[in-house]
């Protein structure tokens, strides 16, 4: 009988240990998920859109919001091949304020009205669920250029981005309807 008690005890201890290790693994997963590597190519993160709005009003250039998510290979491609180079090239670097919004991250951001929010909530306000998405907005945060959703035909993607910026500039400066 004594041998049976030891086997039962070892079985119980093994089950407790297995449950403990499983629970520890489950609890560690969210922390590991937050240590994800960022994209290799990035724009300045949206941090204070109220300040960006003031700069937009002063310079009469729109704000270019690039919405992405961590695990989006299309976002990485759009950033690397189109958006980041566009943001650094004349004349485009001076035709918009380029900001990146991580739709799957609770990063803090001040919205256009000066209220504290997160990147996730900001993306939800714009109804963004598909990435990459580009919205060209004015100082109130109103979309003023045709949104570019997804990485459309790569051959024309840069043209779509440029058209969105041009439309935004036209609306800000009163040269288009």
Domain ranges of the chain: 1-35, 49-173
Residue 75: which residues within 8 A CB-CB, separation 6 or more? Answer: 39, 68, 69, 131, 132, 151
The residue ranking higher by pLDDT, 36 or 140, is 140
Supply the pLDDT for residue 145. 82
| pLDDT of 153 strictly over 90 | no
Q: In CATH, what class is 49-173?
A: alpha beta
φ, ψ for residue 29 (rounded to 5)? -60, -45
Per residue in 14-62, pLDDT tens? 444 444 433 444 333 333 334 444 556 789 999 999 999 999 999 999 9
The rounded mean pLDDT for the chain is 82
> Using CA atoms, how far apart are residues 54 and 149, in angstroms rounded to an integer?
26
**Sorting pLDDT into bands at 50, 70 and 90, what band is 10?**
low
With the CA atoms of 27, 29, 33 and 34 taken in that order, what torsion angle do they form, in degrees rounded to the nearest 10?
Answer: 20
Contacts 24+ apart (CB under 8 A), 155-161: 157/78, 157/81, 157/82, 158/82, 158/86, 161/82, 161/83, 161/86, 161/134
| pLDDT recorded at residue 154 | 82
Does the structure show a pLDDT above 90 at 124?
Answer: yes
pLDDT mean over 140-151: 91
Confidence of residue 138 (pLDDT cuts 50, 70, 90): very high
pLDDT of residue 32: 33
What φ, ψ does residue 147 adopt, rounded to 5°?
Answer: -60, 145
pTM: 0.76
Flag whether pLDDT at 104 surpasses 90. Answer: yes
Q: What angle do CA 155, 160, 165 make, to 5 degrees?
A: 145
């Amino acid at each position: 009988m004594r041998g049976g008690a030891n086997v039962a005890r070892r079985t119980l201890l093994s089950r407790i240990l297995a449950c403990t290790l499983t629970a520890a693994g489950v609890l560690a997963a969210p922390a590991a998920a937050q240590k994800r590597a960022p994209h290799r190519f990035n724009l300045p993160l949206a941090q204070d859109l109220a300040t960006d709005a003031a700069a937009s009003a002063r310079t009469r250039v729109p704000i270019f919001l690039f919405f992405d998510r961590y695990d989006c290979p299309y976002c990485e491609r759009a950033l690397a091949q189109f958006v980041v180079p566009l943001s650094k090239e004349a004349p485009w670097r001076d035709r918009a304020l380029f900001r990146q919004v991580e739709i799957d991250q609770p990063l803090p951001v001040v919205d256009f009205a000066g209220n504290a929010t997160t990147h996730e909530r900001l993306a939800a306000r714009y109804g963004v669920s598909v990435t990459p998405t580009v919205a060209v907005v004015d100082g109130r945060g109103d979309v003023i250029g045709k949104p570019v959703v997804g990485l459309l035909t790569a051959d024309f993607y840069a043209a779509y981005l440029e058209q969105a910026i041009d439309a935004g500039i036209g609306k800000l400066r009163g040269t288009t309807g």
